[in-house]
Chains A and B, each alone.
Chain A
Amino acid sequence: DGGITQSPKYLFRKEGQNVTLSCEQNLNHDAMYWYRQDPGQGLRLIYYSQIVNDFQKGDIAEGYSVSREKKESFPLTVTSAQKNPTAFYLCASSIGTVYGYTFGSGTRLTVV
């Protein structure tokens, strides 16, 4: 079945360490997105990519980095510069935003 796979489901990181969240899709979608979800704040866009080898900053890109070397993959790195990284991270893909998104099941990152 086609879909989006995010791994791992739970991730723990020590302060000062970088960590990479995986997002893979087999839907043949051109566009991919990363969102951060905090309680009471809805979904905030971190980065998005509409095509391979191209990506744009979203509303809260500071402290994060991404790459889009393959159509299927859009990994997100949470760097040590991100001051408050504990959150739920959602990856999504789309064939076009007029059709909405397909979401992954999310990664819950906790900094310890």
Chain B
Amino acid sequence: AQKVTQAQTEISVVEKEDVTLDCVYETRDTTYYLFWYKQPPSGELVFLIRRNSFDEQNEISGRYSWNFQKSTSSFNFTITASQVVDSAVYFCALSGPTGGTSYGKLTFGQGTILTVHP
């Protein structure tokens, strides 16, 4: 069975601070895909990034960066110089390969509520 753990329930920072959201996953698949979604107060989940298990390169997109480490089964997300607009719930998710036992659905973590204060 697959599992995603986001141990940080809530994080509160002051604007311009850097913040890292942790994600640890469990899977028996050798091929899998990891995702991060942002849920702003409006409610709709917004896709941020997708990473496959064979690509361990870190990725940077503007103020966002992601650190994927298979050795520790982690896929952490860092926001540099946080802004008030970054306040949201962030979800990490995991899917298995096409045709695998977990095919057909994503497994989500519990989510981390990030509040950025001005």
The residues of A with any CB-CB pair to B shorter than 8 Å are 31, 33, 35, 40-43, 45, 48, 50, 56, 58, 88, 90, 92, 96-106, 108
Contact = CB atoms under 8 A, between A and B. Distances in A.
Given A41-B110, A101-B45, 5 more contacts: A40-B110, A88-B43, A97-B96, A98-B33, A103-B44
A11 to B, nearest CB: 14
Contacts of B103: 97
Contacts of B45: 90, 92, 101, 103
Nearest to A107: B43
Contacts, number: 61
A105 B44 contact: yes
Contact of B97 (A98, A100, A108): A98
Q: Which of B42, B45, B103 has the most CB of A within 10 A?
A: B45
A35 B96 CA distance: 18
Closest 8 CB pairs of A and B: A42-B110, A106-B43, A97-B95, A103-B45, A105-B44, A43-B108, A100-B35, A42-B111
Interface in B82-118: 91, 93, 95-98, 103-106, 108-111
6 contacts: A92-B45, A97-B95, A98-B52, A100-B35, A104-B44, A106-B43
Which residue of B47, B103, B104 has the most chain A CB atoms within 10 A of its CB atom? B104
Contacts of A56: 104
A44 B19 CA distance: 27
B50 interface: yes
Contacts of A45: 105
Interface of B: 9, 33, 35, 37, 42-47, 50, 52, 91, 93, 95-98, 103-106, 108-111
Nearest to A106: B43
B92 to A, nearest CB: 10
A18 to B, nearest CB: 23
A66 to B, nearest CB: 14
A98 B93 CA distance: 11
B5 to A, nearest CB: 10
A111 B109 CA distance: 27
Contacts of B106: 97, 100-101
